[in-house]
Chains A and B, each alone.
Chain A
């Protein structure tokens, strides 16, 4: 069964304090790994897709990396506006119609 585990559940950082969020996954043939950001009361906002081990993608202060067992979301010099819940999801070749299996998320709080 496809499974996604995110850690930590919650992370508190000071503004400018870089850190990483972890997403461990078990999937029967990875089609893609997705990172989303979710703000309170809103829908998940797409950030990145990673398709193969070794791939990296960047957007502003965020950088996502992928290995065969896990993905990391690195946050460099975070700002208070980066505070949100970050969701990781996997899609397998066996998953019908591209269904995503989500982790429970990491709630990031960045204090000024």
Chain B
């Protein structure tokens, strides 16, 4: 019973390409998030989203865009990939904004 799942687990692509990462949660949570973990293992919020509002971290380039087809899914689209986008991306979800449960991560490598 996977609570928060992400696909793919690994993603290798070239600079300039457009890619997507998918996230699904089966916890019945109302809010979903995307985090970026850099090479120094520092975890930083990128977006939070529920069915009412999208909150974007102001430091996130507009090449990144979350898309939510329904409450259980929050996908991350990245346009014109750059070398600096290489990182591990984690999806998470919570109910009423309390403790967050994380997915297994997607390791993105841009060459």
Interface residues of A (CB under 8 A from B): 31-32, 34, 36, 41-46, 49, 85, 87, 89, 91, 96-102, 104-105
Residue of A nearest to B101 (CB): A46
Contact A98 B102 (CB under 8 A): no
- Cα of A44 to Cα of B92 in the assembled complex, Å: 9
Q: Which residues of B contact A91 (CB under 8 A)?
A: 97
Contact A99 B45 (CB under 8 A): yes
What is the distance, in angstroms, from B33's C-beta to the closest C-beta of chain A? Answer: 7
Question: Total interface residues on B, using CB and 8 Å?
Answer: 28
- Cα of A105 to Cα of B105 in the assembled complex, Å: 17
- Cα of A31 to Cα of B94 in the assembled complex, Å: 14
Contact B105 A97 (CB under 8 A): no
Most A-side CB within 10 Å, residue of B53, B57, B98? B98
What is the distance, in angstroms, from B52's C-beta to the closest C-beta of chain A? Answer: 9
Q: Which residues of A contact B102 (CB under 8 A)?
A: 36, 43-46
Q: Which residues of B contact A100 (CB under 8 A)?
A: 45, 100
Contact B98 A104 (CB under 8 A): no
Contact B104 A42 (CB under 8 A): yes
Cross-chain contact of A102 among B42, B48, B96 (Cβ < 8 A): B42
Scan residues 32-50 of chain B and give those whose CB is less than 8 A from a CB of chain A.
33, 40-45, 48-50
Most B-side CB within 10 Å, residue of A44, A85, A96, A98? A98
Contact B97 A104 (CB under 8 A): no
The answer to whether B12 has its CB under 8 Å from any CB of chain A is no
The answer to whether B103 has its CB under 8 Å from any CB of chain A is yes
Contact B94 A98 (CB under 8 A): yes
